[in-house]
A and B are shown apart, each in its own frame.
Chain A
C-alpha cells in the first residue's frame, strides 16, 4: 500500500527539520505583505503599522505572563534606541486579555518603543503567531522578511544583524 501524498510527508518532514534546527524561519508561510493593523496604546491613543511606511519595522508579540518576553524587553528597548535614527521602529504588540497587568508592568519597567494592545488577538491571528514571544521583521517596502519564534539570550544579536541588513537596502 502506497503512502498517499508522499510529497506532503516530505514537506512536513522538511518543515519539522527546519523549524527544529533554527528559531528563524525566512518568511515561510507568513511571507508576503505585512497585514496592516490599527490598535490602541495604553493611553488610549490609536497606533498602527501604517504610521511607519518606509521604515524597517519589527513587530514583537509579547505578554505579561511570558517569562522569555520579559527577558528580551530591555534588550529590544536598547536596540530600538540604537537604530531609530537610521529608520527603524519597534512596535510591541501585547496580547494580554486585560490591561491592568500591562499597565503595572510597564510602570515598573518602562520601555521607550510604542506598545499597542491586542486583547482580541486579531493581529496575532493575522500574523499567524505560533510561539510566544514572536518577532516579525518587516522591510521598508512593507514585506515580511523574517519571523523569529521564541527568545533565548543571544537572539538579540541575530535581530541586530537582520535589522542592519534591511536598513542598508
Chain B
C-alpha cells in the first residue's frame, strides 16, 4: 500500500478497459456505444426507484467485498462468499421466525448476528483444512459453496420452509425488519447501506491504525517474516478468515431483514463472487470499497433495463465484471509507465500519488 490515492489509480485503467469493452460490444451489437453507456446509467440511476435499488444492492456487495479484502489482508482468498451469504441469510430468517416473541431491540441485532455467526461457521472448515492439511482455501470454499446451496435448498423446501410449494421461508416478523429510513422513490432505503459503510470505515481504521491490523497485514505480506517477528500467523489467518465468513453471512442476513424479508431458494445472484471484484478493484483497501461496490451495484441494477431497452443479455454484465477483474489483476505486474510513457499525465499522477504521505 503506497498511498491513499493508489487504490483509485488502480481502478482507473480497469474502468478504461471496461469502457473499451463496452464500445467493442456496442460495435458488435450494432448500437451506438454512447447509447450503451447511457442505458447503463439510466438503468442504475435513472430514477428514484432505480437509485434506491442500486443503493440497496450496494450493501451486500460492499460486505462481500469487505469479506474478500479482510481475508486477503492475511493472505487468504475467500471464494466461499456465496455459500456463507446463503446460509447466513437462511440462518437470519430462521432465527427471526423462531425467536419472534422477542422485542425489537433484541430481535433485530440478534437476527443479524445469527447470520454473521453462521457465515463464520461455514468458513471454519475451509480455514481448518488449510491450517491442518495445507489444502488451499480456494478449493475447499468452492466445494463448500455447492454444499451450502444444496443444503439451503433442501432446508427451505423442507423443514424450514413456509409449508407452501414455493421454496421459501415464511415472512419474518416485523420486529426484525429494518425500517425504511430514507423515502427515495416508492422503494426507500434502509439503514443497511450506511451500516455497511460504517463497518467498512471501522475495518479501514483497524487495518491501518492499530497494531493488530498491522500484524494481520504482515501475515499476508510475508508469513515467514511475520513469524520470525513473533506474530502468530496461523491465529491471525484464522481470525481474519472467520471474520471474512461472518461478513459474508452478515451480507445475507441484511438482505433478508432489509430487502426481501424472507429467504428463498437460489437466494444469492452471485454476490459472493462479485465481492472479489469489489475488493480487487480498490486494491483491497476497505475504506474505498464503497466506491467499487457502487460501481458493481450500478452494473447489476442496469442489467434488466439493458435487456428491456437494448435487448442485451444480462450475462453481458457478468462478462463486463470479469473484464474489470482481469484488468485489475493484470496491473499487479504491469506498470503504467510501460504503456503510456513518461510524458503521460496518468503515469505522472501515478508516480505523484506514490509520494504523498498518508
The finding on whether chains A and B are genuine partners in a shared complex, rather than unrelated, reads no
